Chain A
């Protein structure tokens, strides 16, 4: 049990005229212990940037306002002690009275010791014994994003009725109400501006495993843009019409959404695959004889990629709301083309960080086969954290793939091509040799991954592929 009484931390009044402040940094996270007067967070106001000391000792049970958010004086920012989860009253906890007196007092104290008004009364609520640390949740929920969408998701009775009468999805309407809620006026304006009068064909919701290039269930799909008024499509002379399959619609939607979401940038690097070729040559017979598995170039690249990703958690990460998600695992997606060349699916090799080359080669062969046989389960196409696509099978040496949302990057592997390559001979002289060269591209979301980081990632990946010995795989 934490401090028996929950103590609220509120946005302090940093001067009479200051009405709001911005959280610049939380110095403690939920679940961490804090002593009274120990700095808990940093805030920035019109007047000062300062640390806010904790009003009490105990566990930080709740952080209610995220970094970067601006809130009014008196807004509850966090809770020390008490029940860890929202107990219903948390949100509604009355702010400390921001009386002129309190303001004057708080202005009188220097900002470094600017106690919140509760400081005095909580002195005695220190915990009797040290608290067991609350294990930080590896994947903390992102309350900020949730809060922002609450208003949007609530549909008032009149909006629901109008939506149903006109066959409009309120999710397609830009909301101007509190928290982005769609108001009656919003939906009426939307309809007036030419939303379809009748519901068009429902948006593709594909539950079959063969869905999109990559499933992106983690991040809720943003509202779909207003569908254009449905007009019958007519084939001109010489044209032929064929309906889009659900998979094609899913791919189309996902591709568009990904480009609308991430800031796509591609960097490429050339890798001398001599080392890999040599190892593979040796292992191939061995693997095929013993395990019936072909250690493909893709498996080598995947194995080295997983290893490199552990050093670049952001490239294996995700932007979720205002948060950056990183993981201690790699769920590696592989873009697999379907037999007729019309369709693509991205099965995911879960926990690839626990697989050696054999495990990866076997896993890739298995999911690729089952993808083509349409025998994947929905679970096997979800939850990817990074994706590898291999368009090199047809000889292409470069490409700019589209990121599988909500991931931060996708690695492209291309044809291994023999090239004249400048190397150094035993005497350190430059000579031209024939080397098997493969281009690798990393397409990354520049919102999260900077170019230098991507460059370092590719450099390290190349280094592994060029230098790792058999044992490293």
Chain B
């Protein structure tokens, strides 16, 4: 074990995977010579060479399309979108080709698309989004949203080895802010297994990504009032750990679903609906959703704060549930 930042853990995971499996290669904008916009692949080209760490033209379509073709030919490509927001350019390759290929022709498409996502640093509308729910809606794609360095590394290994296209959302706000112990050596963190971030008895927060930490700070405030909050980190949205969520609901009967993505059609709606369907008789309060509002992400720091759920928003939401 050694303490690593979230960013280092991603970088280590990728490097280890490339070392042990030479089908794995990296492609993206400025990932080679420059080492990536966030330096995840710094030094990779020196170690693995320009053919395994490919600087791509500014064409997400070409990057994902190229990866899809390579994967069908037996490679394990890892594409980097410089910002998750840019993936909309590759929608067609990803959704029409990669996601459906296995159903159409039985060909696995083991690609991993790394998506630096999330806001909190005034990145504005094109550099701050969390578009995970758009892809969670597409059958054939897997959606991964690690919150901790340990998971970032283990889930990346799983994504690369998974025979399906995997969207790996790495939250930019966690890159250097979050440091934690990470196991040495290679390991895989399984998909579809939620992580109990904090156990509690009175309220459940179902969340993922950077919101895990927002929820943690909020829960600490409620602990002071004698309200015990459980935080469940889903880790992956496709597949998502329905069982863990329902177990938590059965325990606490009051649920807050929290995400940084916008409200309408956000993945929180899917979770809330599932709880209503499968744990209705365990509910002691309406399932509450706390999300960003249905607007683009604002530039202004003040507005961005108003947009992204803050600790005090979560505290208020939890109090409301506690008092219900």
Contacts and interface: CB of A to CB of B under 8 A. Distances in A.
Interface stretch (B91-99, B153-161, B188-196, B281-289): B281-289
A455 interface: no
A224 interface: no
Given A158-B283, A183-B284, A183-B324, 16 more contacts: A156-B283, A156-B284, A156-B285, A157-B280, A157-B281, A157-B282, A158-B253, A158-B282, A161-B281, A161-B282, A177-B324, A178-B323, A178-B324, A184-B253, A184-B284, A185-B202
B309 to A, nearest CB: 22
A156 B282 CA distance: 9
A362 interface: no
A160 B324 contact: no
A159 interface: yes
Contacts of B253: 156, 158, 184
A158 B284 contact: yes
A161 B281 CA distance: 6
A158 B284 CA distance: 5
7 contacts: A156-B284, A157-B281, A158-B253, A160-B281, A181-B324, A184-B253, A184-B284
Interface string B275-316: 000001111110000000000000000000000000000000
Contacts of A184: 253, 284
B323 A157 contact: no
Nearest to B285: A156
Interface residues of B, number: 10
Residue of A178, A184, A185 contacting most chain B CB atoms (<10 Å): A184
Contacts of B280: 157
A159 B282 CA distance: 8
Contacts of B283: 156-158
Contacts of A185: 202
Interface in A156-193: 156-161, 177-178, 181, 183-185
A447 to B, nearest CB: 31
> A-B pairs with the 9 shortest C-beta distances?
A184-B284, A161-B281, A158-B284, A156-B284, A158-B253, A184-B253, A157-B281, A157-B283, A158-B282
B253 to A, nearest CB: 5
Nearest to B249: A158
A177 B282 contact: no
A159 B324 contact: no
Contacts of A156: 253, 283-285
Contacts of A159: 284
Nearest to A164: B281
A173 to B, nearest CB: 13
A183 B283 CA distance: 10
Interface string B60-93: 0000000000000000000000000000000000
A185 B254 CA distance: 11
Contacts of B281: 157-158, 160-161
Contacts of B284: 156-159, 183-184
Nearest to A160: B281
A49 B282 CA distance: 47
A143 B282 CA distance: 31
Q: Which of A157, A159, A178 has the most CB of B within 10 A?
A: A157
Nearest to B201: A185
B157 to A, nearest CB: 40
A183 B254 CA distance: 10
Contacts of A178: 323-324
B249 to A, nearest CB: 9
Nearest to A155: B284
Nearest to A182: B284
Contacts of A181: 324
A291 to B, nearest CB: 64
A367 to B, nearest CB: 49
Interface in B153-204: 202
A177 B202 CA distance: 13
A184 B284 CA distance: 6
A181 B321 CA distance: 13
Contacts of B202: 185
A184 B283 CA distance: 9
A184 B252 CA distance: 9
A198 to B, nearest CB: 20
A443 B281 CA distance: 49
A156 B252 CA distance: 13
Nearest to B282: A158
A184 B324 CA distance: 11
A161 B249 CA distance: 14
Interface string A227-268: 000000000000000000000000000000000000000000
A295 to B, nearest CB: 62
A105 to B, nearest CB: 25
B275 to A, nearest CB: 11
A178 B324 CA distance: 5
Contacts of B282: 157-158, 161
Interface string B191-234: 00000000000100000000000000000000000000000000
A184 B285 CA distance: 9
Contacts of B323: 177-178
Most chain B CB within 10 A, of A156, A177, A181, is at A156
Nearest to B286: A156
Contacts of A183: 284, 324
A389 B285 CA distance: 49
Interface in A134-165: 156-161
Contacts of B324: 177-178, 181, 183
Nearest to A151: B324
A158 B275 CA distance: 13
Nearest to A187: B284
Contacts of A177: 323-324
A161 B282 CA distance: 8
A181 B281 CA distance: 17
Contacts of A161: 281-282
A71 B283 CA distance: 30
B18 to A, nearest CB: 50
Interface string A280-300: 000000000000000000000
A149 B282 CA distance: 23
A183 B321 CA distance: 11
A423 to B, nearest CB: 69
A243 B70 CA distance: 87
A225 B208 CA distance: 46
Nearest to A156: B284
A26 to B, nearest CB: 29
B222 to A, nearest CB: 15
A177 B322 CA distance: 8
Nearest to A181: B324
Contacts of B285: 156
A25 to B, nearest CB: 31
Q: Which of B253, B280, B282 has the most CB of A within 10 A?
A: B253
A183 B202 CA distance: 11
A173 B324 CA distance: 16
